[in-house]
Every structure is written in structure tokens, then in C-alpha cells.
A and B are shown apart, each in its own frame.
Chain A
């Protein structure tokens, strides 16, 4: 049948269009790039949207200091390939300077990212931040607009969202406010993986199965490291297993899954069979309550 697009091509066209709209309407955009799979896809889409121009806006990473070294190495490699500027907001620096309270050793610094990001936005005057968040990740995200207006504290008010009709995106904002833009809003975890396969995108190696020292905590497989150490007193014992990461975030709150999937195609097959959600399987931070994500977003989280 002529003049039809596959769903991946349609999603890509939508995302490219959203990136171009942002660049046209906003003066100082930046792209949140952690080195995770969603931000890797987002960066690829942004490069396509801007082409044949080179990426002329910076990449921003809020580094908790607890990141997987493989993810940081990948981040730096992609930044160099794109000849882009990397702006790092450092949570350890903010803790050392007393701007953010230290949650303590081995504890997630997820919430500490928010004030560091908000400060960075104000300092650099960013008025649009691209993020790789997807609506299928979490129930609160399902309700967020593609263009999400944030006040000067970066806060999201779900009751004050602008109606988003047709594909007429309104990125206008007053001084001090900014927009978070989510071009991959309508993508699912499987769409991302199918796209990674179709576009032959590189990802950090830890997304594929590898041998690693892990231990069990609250039913999740945690990677043993200098930052996250097992507590033998409660029976946490280190063992070697073949694992991969389904999401890549702060080491303190990202768990591994047992897997033999050594290729992207095998990962897709495993995810298609999985009966547990991406965040449920691997994110410690969303298991606290039904509203964990909503509360973080209201505070200015991604």
C-alpha cells in the first residue's frame, strides 16, 4: 500500500517535528543526556531533526556521582562524536558546597538531582530542555504534555497544564519559566528497542548481558560496587550472574535483571516476553509509593 508509514517512521517523524518546533520557538534549548537508552534515542532524533546543521545546543547531564562508569564512558563518546558541548551539573559538588543535603552513603541521590538541575537552568538561562521521558513509563507521565511548562522552581502543576491540540505546540513562556519537551512521549520501551535495532544505535554495554557481581536486596538484583555494598548481617551475599540493565540510572536505585540476551534482538525478545514493567523490575525509587513519580515531578524532576 503506497503512502503509508510504519509506526516507527511515524513516531520518528513526530519526534523530529517536535524538536524542530522547539528550536524554532525557543532561544536557549538544551538536551538532557544521561547516556541511557532513551536519551541515546532522543539525541539521535535531535541530530536528524537539525541535520545538516551540527548540533548547536548543549547536552546536559545531572551527574549524581553514582553513575555506572560504562554509561559515563558512552556519554562522553557520543558528546565527542556529535562535537557538542556537555554541561554537567554535579550533585557531589553541590553536596560539598552545602547547596544540597547529602542523603547519605549508598542512598539514592535521585531527589538531589532536582535542585542541581534547577540551578543549572537558571545559571545558563536554558528556556527549553529536551527529555527522553515516555508516557508508558509511569502513570503520572501518561498525563503530561509533550510541551510541559515549568515555573522558575522547575515545578510541574498537573492541574494547570495547557491544552495540547492537534500538533500545534505552544512553547511560549514568561521570563524565569521554561518548557520541558518530551519528543518520545508516545514511544514505548519496545518502540525504543526496535528503533535502536533499526537504526543500529550504540548503547552502553551494560544494556546487554554480561557477567557481574551482584547481590539480592528486597527482591531486586543490585550490582555490587564501591557505592552499593551488600550487608551480610541481613543475609546479602555477593554472587556472579549473567545480567543486563533494563534502565540505567543511579547505581543506588537501578537494579539488574538476570539475562542471557547478548544482542539487541535478544533483548527485544526478552522484553516482549517480560511480565514485569521496566520501572517495576529495576527502579528502587518508584517502589516507595503509588505517587513517587508524581511527587518528584511536582518538585521539578525530569
Chain B
């Protein structure tokens, strides 16, 4: 059985990220001849001497003409062991917005470091964001090793620098791989140039990552997407709740509670088109029925009676701001959290986080009007009109995350991770 692994790549403008992706797609046999010919034609048209592997991924006309990457692109490829979905995030423009988009669903992030430049501010930002969004696995690919003569000392020095950064952020699993994306060393095939490197090439590393332990199988969380009331073909009434399991293993017979109302019931059945199940776990999409006839609707959360999330109207959050207009204290938004949408009001900004050095910058004393600008990250409190049922983000990415929506334009203007209530 092939498992699905979602990963993101992050890098600065010239560290060869698009080349690495072109290499991954090419060396795993995902690029077709007609696409390769199109890339060759485009490279020639631009007057390039070599075929630019980056053109495999630059999807928009503006990107090809200007040689830049505008937006997050998603690619798929497979090896015999795993099926991969890759979010390709541009490092230079709209950095926070694109990184958060690309890595929010990622099991792993591959950060590129140019061997000739070493760890730069952008690397620190990538590591910090991956840590804030709690991506379980990080890989630092030290690229362009061919340009430093495959010198192990260069690789070691970059690893030491990155270790310094990672010691200050919270990263569970960090690995280092010396590569040359241009020549294909240690990407899919092991390189003969790095006898001093004992680890696997990038793709083998990604194939081996242990994913099962990344999922929260302890805390049962079932956000209700929609209540389903219908008559079955036999005329019998059906009342169930459709949703995607967001945590834990839900079983028939479980004693559950519906939040925020607090009414108790027992799971009568777990239904799917393909037949009933005895249990369901993330990320399965099922429809459950309860023993009691309760008033349950979209936005309610079903969980085990003995293991409940926090229910409250005041939350502390790290907010990633994505709109041009700054976030001001007192501003009102729609907040979409799991399947619930409610109005929220932003409180005062406690501090801004400088992701390049992880310094907290407090607003001036008495400056209660401090704002959060585009692509800035800050900690603030939010008050919701209706109670939210949540877990801290560090316990559950699905029940600890939300987006902020402008109530006028309906644009998504911010993303947030919920912090522990006591902090």
C-alpha cells in the first residue's frame, strides 16, 4: 500500500529550488517528452545555453517571461514506495502568505540552502515558520555542492549554523542532505562525489519518513460538516452527521458529547457509501449516527465524553497576516475554525515576531493601536461571538487552526494557530 506524503519546498530566489523540483520530477520519470520539448523550446527562445529545468514548474506566462515564481504550485509524483504531493512555494515574494499556504498541510518541508552562501536570513525564516506551523519533518538540502568541490567541511559548517537556529525553534526531526540539483547528485540517485555522507538521497529519505506517529490518534475530534436528514429507499428515516475525522479513533459504541451544547450520546453507527465501519480515524470522511435524537448541526464538535477540547470565546493566537491593509486592534472578521464560522474581534497586539531572528518586538508602551502589516506574524487575543471548541495547535493542527475572512470582500486575510489557553 502506497501512502500519501505531502511536502513543501522552500528556498530563496537563486538557490535552485525549481531546478531541484524539475530534477525530482524528471528523475522519478514524471516529466513527459512533450513537456521536455516545450521546456527546451522555451529555454532556446530565451537564449539560454542549457535547458532550464525550472521551466517544468513555472506555470504562468508572467513567470516564464520574467523568470520568477508567483504562486504556490502543486505537483504530484510517485515512486514504488510512496505517492507524493509537493507544494512548491516561492521564497521571495509574499513570503509568509505563500509559505503558510504551502506548509500548512505538509508532513515535511525541504529547505534549500545554497552551499556557496550558507545559512541566510531566508533559511532562518523557513525554519521558524516550519516550527511555528509544526511541520513534523524538516530536511535541509545543501544545494550546489558541486560549486564548492563537494567539500565536506562546507557541508558541516552549514549544518552547524542550522543546528544553532534549530536549537532556538521547536523542530522534532531535522536532517541534512548534500545535493547538486543541477547534476542530480543525491536527489534520486546516490552521488559518488560524497563518500563522506552516509545518509540516503533525498527521495529515499522522504520515502522512509515515519508518518503514522505524526497523527493524533488519541483525542477523538469529529467536526460536523453537515447534518444529513433523509429517507432511505425503504422509507426509513435517516439522521446522520457527515464529517472528516480530525483526531483520535472513533468507534461504534463510544460515549460521546456534542460541543458546545454538551449533550451526551452513544455512537450508533459509522456509515459510508461502501458500507458501515466499526471505527474511523483521520483523515477518513464518514457519516455517523447517534443513539439519541439531538439537535446537532454544522460547526458542532463530537468528541469522547472523557476527553474534551477547550470551549471558550477568548483565544490567544499567533496570526499570520496576509492582506495589504494592516490588521488593527478592534477589527472584526469572520473566523472559520474547523467547520464553524463565527464573528471575531481582534484584541491588542501583544508582540510581532521577527522570523529572521525569532525576536519578539513589543509595541511601544501605551501603543494600544499597534497594527500587524502584510506578511507579518504577531500574537494577539481574539474574542468570538459564539464559543469555539478547539485544541491548542501543538496538540492538533486541524482543531487548533483558523482563517480570518474579511466580512466585506470575503477574502481570506489571515491564518492563525491557537496557543495554549494558560500561556
Contact = CB atoms under 8 A, between A and B. Distances in A.
Interface string A44-57: 00011101111000
A276 interface: yes
Given A135-B74, A158-B60, A290-B42, A21 B34 contact: no
Interface residues of B, number: 74
A165 B398 CA distance: 11
A288 to B, nearest CB: 12
A141 B274 CA distance: 31
B415 A274 contact: no
B59 A166 contact: no
Interface stretch (A12-20, A116-124, A249-257): A12-20
Contact of A13 (B283, B334, B397, B402): B283
B230 A143 contact: no
Contacts of A151: none
A9 B71 CA distance: 28
Contact of B273 (A51, A172, A187, A295): A51
Interface in B34-75: 34-35, 38, 42, 57-61, 64, 70-75
B225 A21 contact: yes
Given A3-B212, A49-B285, A174-B410, A140 B59 contact: yes
A291 B62 CA distance: 10
B370 interface: no
Contact of B3 (A4, A136, A159): A4
B411 A7 contact: no
Interface in B196-241: 211-212, 215, 217, 225-226, 228, 230, 232, 238, 240
B59 A143 contact: yes
A143 B38 contact: no
Contacts of A290: 38, 42, 61, 64
B281 A172 contact: no
Specify the main secondary structure of chain B where it touches its partner: mixed
B230 A135 contact: no
Contacts of A127: none
A46 B60 CA distance: 30
Given A13-B283, A24-B225, A159-B70, A4 B101 contact: no
B249 to A, nearest CB: 7
B60 A143 contact: yes
Contacts of B401: 165-166, 168
Interface string A24-67: 10000000000000000000000111011110000000000000
Interface in B372-423: 397-398, 401-403, 405, 409-412, 415
Contacts of B212: 1, 3-4
Contacts of B76: 135-136, 186-188, 191
Contact of B230 (A6, A10, A52): A52
A275 B32 CA distance: 5
B228 A52 contact: yes
Contacts of B190: none
A165 B226 contact: no
B336 A47 contact: no
B283 A164 contact: no
A98 interface: no
B75 A276 contact: no
Nearest to A1: B212
Interface in B119-169: none
A165 to B, nearest CB: 4
A5 interface: yes
A53 B233 CA distance: 10
Contacts of A1: 212
A139 B285 contact: no
Contacts of A280: 32-35
B403 A170 contact: yes
B229 to A, nearest CB: 9
A277 interface: yes
B288 interface: no
Contacts of A294: 59-61
B412 A170 contact: yes
B226 A163 contact: no
B272 interface: yes
Interface in B15-44: 32-35, 38, 42
B4 interface: yes
A49 B271 CA distance: 11
B73 A142 contact: yes
Contacts of B60: 139-140, 143, 158, 291, 294
Given A136-B75, A142-B75, A277 B412 contact: no
A158 B70 contact: yes
A190 interface: yes
A276 B1 contact: no
Pick the most buried of A5, A139, A275: most chain B CB atoms within 10 A of its CB. A139
A23 B227 CA distance: 11
B12 interface: no
A17 B242 CA distance: 9
A185 B100 contact: no
A20 B217 CA distance: 23
A219 to B, nearest CB: 10
A163 B322 contact: yes
A165 B61 contact: no
A153 to B, nearest CB: 18
A99 interface: no
Contact of A274 (B32, B211, B272, B285): B32
B75 A135 contact: yes
A20 B284 contact: no
Interface string A251-287: 0000000000000000000000011110011000000
12 contacts: A5-B4, A13-B283, A17-B283, A48-B272, A140-B60, A163-B98, A165-B412, A170-B336, A170-B405, A172-B410, A173-B410, A290-B42
Interface of A: 1, 3-7, 9-14, 16-17, 20-21, 23-24, 47-49, 51-54, 135-136, 138-143, 158-159, 161-168, 170, 172-174, 185-188, 190-191, 274-277, 280-281, 290-291, 294-295
**Closest 7 pairs (CB-CB, A-B):** A280-B34, A139-B59, A172-B410, A7-B83, A277-B32, A16-B285, A48-B273
